[in-house]
Structure formats: structure tokens, C-alpha cells
Amino acid sequence: MHKTLIIGASGQIGKQVTQHMLDGGHFVVALVRDKDKLSDVDGNTMSIVEADLKNDFSHAFEGCSSVIFAAGSGPDTGADQTLLIDLWAACRAVDYAEQHGIEHFIMLSSVGADKPSAGPEKMQPYLVAKHMADEHLLRSKLRYSILRPGALNNDKALGKYTTQQPQDQNEAKITRADVATALVYLAGDLQPKNRLQELFNGQQNLTEVLK
């Protein structure tokens, strides 16, 4: 049985990923700190694991084939939480995945993680955390997909994408709904190749840009 662990399943993107996976009949392990936050998610192929990412959460990986790391400290937390969740928890998730023989690790990162010092000053702690977590995954023995979306918004899904960063930074954005769809698409690839990809809303279909 192919089972996917979704870390951060109650987050803005993680919850959409979880529901899409369940709608598609996939078996999902939803890792959350508070299971009540998934009370509005429907699906009989989901099991829930409650755990704090600041503590040991290795048990959640048992029996899983793939992992989607969609957790984040959130925009209203300080650099300390960014360090603990976006960096340390992500790195430990990679280590746990190696220990459990995970076949495919999908990391939700961020545009700008390649050059954190070039980003806005207030974003640099977050971008550094994403950069180091990505590097840890790249150095691992895992099969990986690293997705670096542009600036996120809550607009309605457009269903159109590009991997080319727009010259106008005001256009370098993507809806959370479209990111969720892309993560589900990657999770459905049973023969994944290592990839590191930026992603924005554009003019092409998802299958064209991530084929």
C-alpha cells in the first residue's frame, strides 16, 4: 500500500493537499499538532498522527512510502520559531525519512531560498532556514522534489503555471491552491526523478511545466 505522510497537514497549503489526496483515493497520514484542525477534512483513507515538530515525530513515518513537508512557522512568529520549524524540523524530517526508507521526499520551499541574502531583510531568516533545509535534503540519499513557489496568495486557483521567474516581481506570485495542486501532482509520480523547481502562475498547464 502506497501511503503518503503529509507534515503540516493542517496548514493553509497542507490542508488543501490532504483533501486533494483523499479525494483521489490516496492513503494519507496527516501529521498535525492538533487533530481538531482537521475536523473539516473528509476522507476514510486518512489516519492522523498528533505530534509537535519540536519533539520526536519519527513514528509518523512508519509504513509510509512518500513524504510531503508542507509545515511552516507562519508569518507572525519570530526567527526562533522559523529556526525550529522551517529549518530544524525539516532537517530532522529528512533524517527520519532516510531511516525509514522513504521513496520520495517532497519539500515545500520558497523562491529566494537559493540566495537568501538577496531577499528582503525581514524575510532573510526564513529564506536562510529554507536554504539550509533544502541543502540538507540535496545532500541526503533520498529521491527528492523541491518546490520553490513565488509569493503566495489566497486567490482562486488559476490552474496555469510557469517555471520561469517573471521579470516583474509583482508577477512572481502563485496561489496557495495552485501550489497544493502541484504538490499532489508530484506525490502522484511513482517514478520520480530528482528535481528542484521554482513555480509561479503563468500560462501553461501543470503537466507541461512539471513533465
* Cα–Cα distance measured from residue 123 to residue 104, given in angstroms and rounded to the nearest whole number: 28
Question: Which among 176, 171, 126 has a CA at the least distance from the CA of 153?
Answer: 176
Catalytic residue among 96, 126, 144, 161: 126
Residue with cell 488559476: 158
Task: Based on the residue annotation, tell me whether 161 is a catalytic residue of this protein.
Answer: no
The answer to whether 15 and 9 have CB atoms below 8 angstroms apart is yes
* Cα–Cα distance measured from residue 196 to residue 210, given in angstroms and rounded to the nearest whole number: 11
The answer to whether 3 and 65 have CB atoms below 8 angstroms apart is yes
Helices (H), 78-173: 79-81, 90-99, 124-139
* Cα–Cα distance measured from residue 12 to residue 93, given in angstroms and rounded to the nearest whole number: 20
β-strand partners of 145: 106, 195
Kindly compute the dihedral angle of the four CA atoms of residues 136, 138, 140, 144, in this order, to the nearest 10 degrees.
Answer: 120
First to last CA, the chain: 25
Catalytic residues: 126
